[in-house]
Amino acid sequence: RKEVEQDPGPFNVPEGATVAFNCTYSNSASQSFFWYRQDCRKEPKLLMSVYSSGNEDGRFTAQLNRASQYISLLIRDSKLSDSATYLCVVNGRGGGKLIFGQGTELSVKP
Amino acid sequence: EPEVTQTPSHQVTQMGQEVILRCVPISNHLYFYWYRQILGQKVEFLVSFYNNEISEKSEIFDDQFSVERPDGSNFTLKIRSTKLEDSAMYFCASSALGALSPDTQYFGPGTRLTVL
């Protein structure tokens, strides 16, 4: 089983659409969870941390289900500028290293 | 806003040559990392570094790789004898707290290494 597994994508959506990304992780001892965004050939940039209670940042909502080892990201009212690859990331066993999923590509069309 | 910087942005080298990739982490950060991303693949952890020593390394980080913090600002990754499969984007990252608590790692813009 992959350490972090994401929907393969790509997701092609019209502007204004709501899109959801899902992710599962294999290490039940993971403590930190994140969504990063990566634009083509650029560095990953933190979009948001994910907390057990769920958290929201504007149009973005992240959820964590520890029992199911499942993380989600919801983007409402998609903008053209949301087009990117979304990376599900968890901290590795015992330390600060980050384990990345393969990423899900999102393309928002006019 | 403070940021991680990396040089060079692109390095082309011949197989078997040594390369040194350079990073300047955010100034008050204490934990430093190297990751790589082969084209079309996921970002992979290579090594973490704290208090002038390696705290963790992956299977990828074999004897051909080494890291160093030669002064108070730079953090380097050396590949002793490059192979074709070392061609990738190499990202440096830094964080303030490391594994002590959930913490954000900030990534540099990367160095694209091409081995011919």
Least Cα separation, residue A21 to chain B (angstroms):
17
Q: Rounded mean pLDDT of chain B?
A: 92
pLDDT in tens, B17-26: 999 999 999 9
Q: What percent of chain A has pLDDT over 90?
A: 77
Least confident span in A28-32, B36-40, B89-93: A28-32
> Measured on CA atoms in the order A38, A54, A31, A22, is the torsion positive or negative?
negative
Chain B residue whose CA is closest to A95: B99
Which one of B31, B33, B107 has the shortest CB-CB distance to A43?
Answer: B107
CA distance A97 to B114: 25
Q: What is the pLDDT of residue B104?
A: 83
Number of Cβ pairs closer than 8 Å across A and B? 65
Asked if the bond preceding A8 is cis, omega within 30° of 0, the reply is no
| pLDDT score of B98 more than 70 | no
- Per-residue CA distances from B100 to A56, A65, B115 (Å): 24, 22, 37
